[in-house]
C-alpha cells in the first residue's frame, strides 16, 4: 500500500519533468519514524528496497541509506504537522527562484495558495542551517522554494504535497510565459 503511493507520486513527478532521473525525494511520517526514499533512488521506478525507515530524532542501521535530504525532512517533521513531504526540482519554479524572492501563483485555481517564498539566498545548501530555514518557512506555507534548487511541499498525504508541487510549477510556467511575452497580468 505505501509502496504504491510512493510509486504513483514518484512516477508522476518524473513524467511531468519535475525531477530528473535521480533527483528529488519523498517521505511520510509514521509516529516517531519516517519512511523516505533511498539515497540516489529513481523516483520513476521505485521498488520496496528504495523506501528507508528511520527515526525522526534518532538514527538506526538503515539511516545511512536514506536520502541526502534526510536532515531537511527530519527538521520539517519536527517543526510542522506535516505527514508527507515532496521535494522536487520544477524547472520553471527553479528559474523564478533565481530572480524572485517569492513566487505569486497567478492561475485562479492556485492563487489561493498565496505567495510561495524563496528561501536560502544566503545559506549554503549543504549546511544544517538550510534544514532549519526550510522547516521554519513551512510552518507558514504549504510549499516553498529554495533559491536555485527546488521545492519542498508538505501535506497530510503524498498526493496533497504533490498537488502543491504541480500547482506551483503550472503557475510558474504561466509567469515565465507572461514574462517572455513582456506583458503583465491585468489587475481587476
Query: Would you list the DSSP string of 2-24?
Result: HHHHHHHHHHHHHHTTSS-TT--
Q: Which residues of 167-186 are buried (b: 16+ CB within 10 A; e: fewer)?
A: bbbbbbbbbeeeeeeeeeee
pLDDT band at 114; cut points 50, 70, 90:
confident
What is the pLDDT at residue 128? 74
Could you tell me the fold of the domain covering 2-180?
Answer: L-fuculose-1-phosphate Aldolase (3.40.225)
Residue 170 neighbours by CB under 8 Å, 6+ apart = 107, 110
What is the pLDDT at residue 120? 92
- Using a pLDDT cut of 70, give the percent of the chain over it: 92
What is the pLDDT at residue 182? 84
pTM of the model: 0.93
Given a contact cutoff of 8 angstroms between Cβ atoms, the answer to whether 143 and 151 are in contact is yes
Measured distance CA(10)–CA(134) in Å, rounded: 22
Taking residues 16-42, what's their average pLDDT?
A: 97
pLDDT digits (tens, 9 = 90+) for 72-88: 999 999 999 999 999 99
The torsion of the CA quartet 155, 75, 42, 117, rounded to 10 degrees, works out to 60
SS (H, E, C) 159-175: HHHHHHHHHHHHHHHHH
Supply the mean pLDDT for the chain: 93
Q: Is the pLDDT of residue 123 over 90?
A: no
Would you give the DSSP letter of residue 1? -
- The total of other beta-carbon atoms located within 10 Å of residue 13's CB is 25
pLDDT band at 42; cut points 50, 70, 90:
very high
Q: Is the pLDDT of residue 125 over 80?
A: no
Q: Is the pLDDT of residue 2 over 80?
A: yes
Q: Which residues of 113-145 are buried (b: 16+ CB within 10 A; e: fewer)?
A: beebbbbbeebeeeeeebbbbbbebbeebbbbb
Partnered with residue 155 across adjacent β-strands are: 84
Q: Is the pLDDT of residue 188 over 60?
A: no
pLDDT digits (tens, 9 = 90+) for 44-73: 999 999 999 999 999 999 999 999 999 999
What is the pLDDT at residue 137? 97
Amino acid at each position: 500500500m505505501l509502496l504504491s503511493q510512493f510509486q504513483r507520486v514518484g512516477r508522476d513527478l518524473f513524467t511531468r519533468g519535475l525531477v530528473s532521473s535521480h533527483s528529488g525525494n519523498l517521505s511520510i511520517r509514521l509516529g516517531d519514524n519516517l519512511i523516505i526514499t533511498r539515497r540516489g533512488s529513481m523516483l520513476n521506478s521505485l521498488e520496496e528496497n528504495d523506501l528507508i525507515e528511520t527515526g525522526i530524532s534518532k538514527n538506526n542501521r538503515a539511516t545511512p541509506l536514506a536520502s541526502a535530504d534526510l536532515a531537511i525532512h527530519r527538521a520539517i517533521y519536527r517543526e510542522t504537522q506535516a505527514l508527507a513531504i515532496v521535494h522536487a526540482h520544477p524547472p520553471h519554479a527553479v528559474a523564478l527562484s533565481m530572480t524572485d524572492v517569492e513566487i505569486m501563483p497567478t492561475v485562479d485555481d492556485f492563487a489561493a495558495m498565496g505567495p510561495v517564498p524563496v528561501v536560502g539566498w544566503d545559506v549554503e545548501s549543504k549546511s544544517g542551517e538550510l534544514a532549519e530555514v526550510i522547516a521554519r518557512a513551512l510552518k507558514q506555507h504549504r510549499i516553498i522554494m529554495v533559491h536555485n534548487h527546488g521545492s519542498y511541499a508538505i501535506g497530510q498525504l503524498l498526493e496533497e504535497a504533490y498537488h502543491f508541487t504541480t500547482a506551483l510549477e503550472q503557475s510558474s510556467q504561466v509567469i515565465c510565459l507572461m514574462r517572455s511575452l513582456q506583458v503583465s497580468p491585468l489587475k481587476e
